[in-house]
Structure formats: C-alpha cells, structure tokens
Amino acid sequence: MPLAKIHIRKGHRAEQKRAIADAVQASLIAMLDVPERDRFQLIQEYEDEHFIHTDAFLDLTYTRDLLMIEIAFIEGRSDELKKALLADLNRRLVDTADVRPDDVFVSMYEIGASNVSFGRGLAQRAP
C-alpha cells in the first residue's frame, strides 16, 4: 500500500523522474516485501520559489536537485527495517537515478490498516 510522494524542482528530464520513481518502487519491493503491482506514486514539481530548503544541515550539503520523498505505509514494521529501507533507497537513487547521496530527504508515515481504502469504500487490509 505504500504511497510515495516525490517532491522535486521543475527541470528534471522525464527519464530521470522515471528512474527516481522506479528506484523508490524497487526499494519498497526489496525491503518491505511490497507486491510488484502495489505501486502508488505521485511526483510533484515545484518552481524555485516554492521549493525552499537550507543549503546544509547535520553535516549534509544540499543542491538544487534535492529530493523530498514522503512514504506512507501500513504500520507494523520494525525500526531496523525502516532504517534498512532508508539506506537501500538512498543507494538505489544514487546508483540508478544520478542523485547525490546528500540530496535524498525522506519522511515516512505509518498508517493504521483501518485508515486505508484501495477502493469500493472498503478497508481491505484491516483485520
């Protein structure tokens, strides 16, 4: 069920946007055992004046190519697994999407199974 929101500045090539989206999905499949067909992603592009961030934080440096990624998924995964997801996602973005390791900012949100519907007004994953 993960819903991935990828926030970037305008100006990225279509091929790079697809590589970013594919890297996110590959990481979710590999680390969270998400089914391959369980793909829900949004890419939001921003003008410079609407994409605001610091140039450096916590010994990291950010460029205008910073990605801000939000991932929402059903609760229940361990902190160790979430940390492994962060590391795997960063590696895949660097290796396949021409992204700098520092330019990957990720926030994850856990949602109760009763709070998600894939359609028809049903909470398909709820107990």
Q: Residue 7 maps to which CATH number?
A: 3.30.429.10
In angstroms, rounded to a whole number, what is the distance separating the alpha carbons of residues 71 and 88? 14
pTM assigned to the model: 0.94
User: Going residue by residue through the chain (127 aa), what tens digit of pLDDT does each one get?
Assistant: 899 999 999 999 999 999 999 999 999 999 999 999 999 999 999 999 999 999 999 999 999 999 999 999 999 999 999 999 999 999 999 999 999 999 999 999 999 999 999 999 999 989 8
Q: Which residue type is seen at 112?
A: G
Which residue segment(s) compose the domain that 14 sits in? 3-115
**Which residues, in sequence order, are CB contacts of 104 under 8 Å at separation 6+?**
67, 69, 89, 90, 93, 94
In angstroms, rounded to a whole number, what is the distance separating the alpha carbons of residues 39 and 92? 17
Do the domain assignments include residue 125? no
Do the domain assignments include residue 122? no
- Angle, CA 90 vertex, CA 102 and CA 70 arms, to 5°: 90
Do the domain assignments include residue 34? yes
In angstroms, rounded to a whole number, what is the distance separating the alpha carbons of residues 123 and 104? 32
Q: How many domains does the chain have?
A: 1
